[in-house]
Structure 1
């Protein structure tokens, strides 16, 4: 068996009606004339929903080292606990995170993902807890996160019918550097002009309630109304000035830390944790015993649990990154 080492992946690009061309800034090879909304950086799904990625499987291809040309699923089968540590794969045998970049040239649909109660009652639906880290935003851009206090299910349903439902949502300014936790059941939408990095549980079950008048896009109002959490959504988080590494999101499914190195420096990774590293700005190197894996802006890598405690993210110039781990 080949010894575990940090893996780098090729992106899986998804064209979207609301997508744009901004992901070229992160080194993504966008096909000419195609509006790309999502770059799946790390994915291991046997199937995707029609309401999400439109069906089909998605297994990230490895681009470096002895496993180049194989997939994340192949590495998981080969290395097992050496890759995942104490974490467990999905029921289908996949990696328990899905990581993306999103480019919203237009507003995304107002949507919700299955609540725990809905997922328990509907085995074909899966929870989707996610977080958005704001990379860039046009002036005045917002995200929609949660339902305004006092809005009832009945009022919300009526406003879906009348096209007034956006007024029932909480619009939050999109501020680069802020991170927004969106537990499954949170009604939300990414606003136009916003670019984000997303870490989520590996599901794309999506129930749309409003799609800004776009034709031909199915809505799922009945399912959504069963799932919406009418309570407040978590507040935004960010690193404090001068903080080099800090916790942005902590859920039962994953943790996400922000990293900002103002110049040359290094950040050790946590031991015994499958660790995802997303480079948001600058260049770095994952230094493990006997290996050095270069990473540039837009690159996502996975460090197996068996080597994470011996791995350091090093930079020789300013660097911004996200580090996500599976409990």
Structure 2
């Protein structure tokens, strides 16, 4: 097979906090409150199918089974061979639950599941938008448990204002929540395990309160901090990468293309590009693809030389 950049049909997920904002990217949404677009996924709860080229119609799991290392690279065969990352777009029309994710070693992880370290890049934020990001200094397991029992959990959490271009690294163990008015790209471990601490006493999509996971949450929180970092991401120069997150599971960088930027994949890892703004083309030896905001592309490790053309801002993700 001649390797080429893959684009997938997103798996759309209805969420009580979702809306319709992903339509602005030209994505086809089913009815309902769509909170998550799984853009590149290989998980039991959602597997995306290729839309272009000779692999069109095949799920990422099927592609992985047929082409394995050639596609993912020498570092890409993890978690039983499953694709190591999950790439999402998030539309938060309402506040997400206050939540935390476990790490890989948590003994109560569901069978076959990973922990969940992730990062957010804010694509758009309404005036006054905010997120919850970590515990206030001095909060302990005991004080947090007392606050939960007394209905005062919000007093223990840090609020952070957000704007387009902000970036947040969220290691497992970090209490967090996106809030209303935020549109974000999320790069994360290939996991769908979330423990909820608080959900505003609201009903779920079925009209019933959503399950909370207080004991698991209290068990996995990193009370002394897990290494969460945040930054604004102004780019001083075009055609140069700015590192947003560097974890044991992924590296995420941001770059602004002006005219043409010659790049190359490595045999060690695939590359994922998410288009943030602007327009252009992704060009490789055998073809090209148009770039527009909201697009996500998986470039095989064996692709080799390619270029980004036009006036476009992109995220680049790969395995460390």
- TM over 0.5, yes or no? yes
Partner of 2:305: 310
272-281 or 101-110: bigger deviation: 272-281
- Partner residue of 2:7? 8
Query: 1:117, CA displacement in angstroms?
Result: 4.1
- Taking a change above 3 Å as real, the CA distance of residues 265 and 238 of structure 1, as seen in their structure-2 partners, is farther
SS of 1:236's partner is strand
Task: Indicate which of 146, 155, 173 corresponds to 1:158.
Answer: 146
TM-score (norm 1): 0.90
The alpha carbon displacement at 1:92 in A equals 3.5
In 1: Cα distance, 2:56 partner to 2:220 partner: 41
Range with greater deviation from structure 2 (264-273 or 4-13): 264-273
1:60 aligns with 2:48: yes
Q: Which of 284, 298, 310 in structure 2 is aligned with 1:288?
A: 284
| Equivalent position SS for 1:163 | coil
Superposition pairs for residues 180-199 of structure 1, below 5 Å? 180-199=168-187
Q: Which residue of 1 aligns with 2:215?
A: 222
- Structure-1 separation of matches of 2:229 and 2:249: 18
User: Against the structure 1 CA distance between its residues 269 and 238, is the aligned structure 2 distance closer, same or farther, given a 3 Å change threshold?
Assistant: farther
Q: Deviations over 1:51-104 (max 9, x none)?
A: xxxxxxx21110000111111122212221111112133333211110000011
Specify which structure has the higher proportion of strand: 2
Q: 1:37 pairs with 35, 38, 45, which one?
A: 35
Displacement of 1:284: 2.6
Give the C-alpha shift of residue 175 in structure 1.
2.0
Question: Counterparts in 2 of 1:1-327, with a 5 A limit?
Answer: 2-32=1-31, 34-45=32-43, 47-48=44-45, 58-118=46-106, 120=107, 122=109, 124=111, 125-215=113-203, 216-232=209-225, 233-244=227-238, 245-261=241-257, 263-272=258-267, 273-307=269-303, 309-315=304-310, 318-327=311-320
Instruction: Provide structure 2 residue ranges, at least 5 long, that are not aligned to the other structure.
Output: 204-208
Please identify, of 267-276 and 154-163, the stretch whose mean Cα deviation from structure 2 is larger: 267-276
- Secondary structure of 1:253 counterpart: coil
CA distance in 2, matches of 1:267, 1:165: 49
Q: Secondary structure at the match of 2:154?
A: helix
Within 1, Cα distance between the matches of 2:162 and 2:152?
22
RMSD: 1.7
Say if 1:241 and 1:259 are closer, same or farther in 2 by CA, change over 3 A: closer
SS of equivalent to 2:245: strand
Give the gaps of 5 or more residues in structure 1: 49-57
Aligned residues: 310
Instruction: Flag the 1:116–1:97 CA change in 2: closer, same or farther, 3 A.
Output: closer
For residue 156 of structure 1, report the CA deviation from its aligned partner. Answer: 0.6
